[in-house]
Amino acid sequence: MKVEFEKETDGRWIAEIPELPGVMAYGKTKQEAQRKVYAVALRTLADTVERGTTPAPVSRIFKYGMASR
């Protein structure tokens, strides 16, 4: 999934993942905002799984593979 960034007038960065509504985070730096938005995305996906909905494969979202059993 694509992360979009924008620098606010006060110098903070906001990162957002448009494919996951409401998933956004602020940071003092672009890198901090990216780390935080990934954490929010993972929490959102975990909540989705707990509710019984199957999210898109994590490998498609974060471009990482998952260990097989």
CATH number at residue 35: 3.30.160.250
Q: Is residue 67 part of a domain?
A: no
Number of domains present in the structure of the chain: 1
Q: Is residue 12 part of a domain?
A: yes
Q: Is residue 13 part of a domain?
A: yes
Q: Is residue 58 part of a domain?
A: yes
pLDDT in tens, 2-58: 999 999 999 999 999 998 889 999 999 999 999 999 999 999 888 888 887 766 665
Give the whole-angstrom CA distance, residue 32 versus residue 36: 6
Q: Is residue 69 part of a domain?
A: no
Range of the domain at 34: 4-62
Q: Is residue 45 part of a domain?
A: yes
pTM over cut 0.75: no
H or E stretch covering 43:
helix 30-50
Question: Would you tell me how many other CB atoms lie within 10 Å of the CB of residue 57?
Answer: 10
Give the whole-angstrom CA distance, residue 41 versus residue 16: 9
Q: Is residue 68 part of a domain?
A: no
- Smallest CA-to-CA distance from 41 within 23, 65, 59, 28 is with 23
